[in-house]
Structure 1
């Protein structure tokens, strides 16, 4: 399976303007640039897109792991906060902090923690990122 996205950047540096699109069309010429990455400009940025990818990948991985363990119902909500840090003359993504709220009827805390940790480690986006990945979770009744 191969999925694709494309980016175009017109102009250079801070004055440049970019647009990003995805194969599915969910993003179509979405604006990005210096002002959307380092200021509060309208549009997206690579770290936000990585956060969306990580949150959705982890949540789906956890959903499938819970189903595989015999659980049949539940609600999972995950937020990913991706940190961009200075790294010498450039930058690096240093962390993706996952925060999960879950409602899975019939599961106990220990089993939930075990399955969630496995999903965090096994999700393809977690495997892709060379960054610290943390997971905080709340299991509601």
Structure 2
């Protein structure tokens, strides 16, 4: 029961996902560098905690630099998101208990022309996120195949 909704407007992406893991495990997956390496990229500097900055290598040295703007442990996390060839945007994660599972909401704002690209990319990363949270990380070799499937599902008509 992972993806429950995905919505976009002119500059924002909003994704809701249910992870069949408790909030504590989901938070660890979201903030622990070893888990982040299983679903997003390699944390090469910093930490994901209140007021800190961090950098994630998404492959071949393509770094996203971020600063934590807000952190409410086990509930919410907001950080800036800046790739060298993109404007600065913001990523917000909200977590809430959903029975024994976790309702996770991702909002990526300030995207403008990048909405479509991130609409295709975040569901792939969240698929990997879920695998990590469940203790069964997916192999990175599957990333582009899953991405291609998502792109085809989102293609017009």
Question: How does the TM-score come out when normalised to structure 2?
Answer: 0.30
Question: How does the TM-score come out when normalised to structure 1?
Answer: 0.32
Larger radius of gyration: 1
Which protein has greater RCO, CA pairs closer than 8 Å, 6+ apart?
Answer: 2
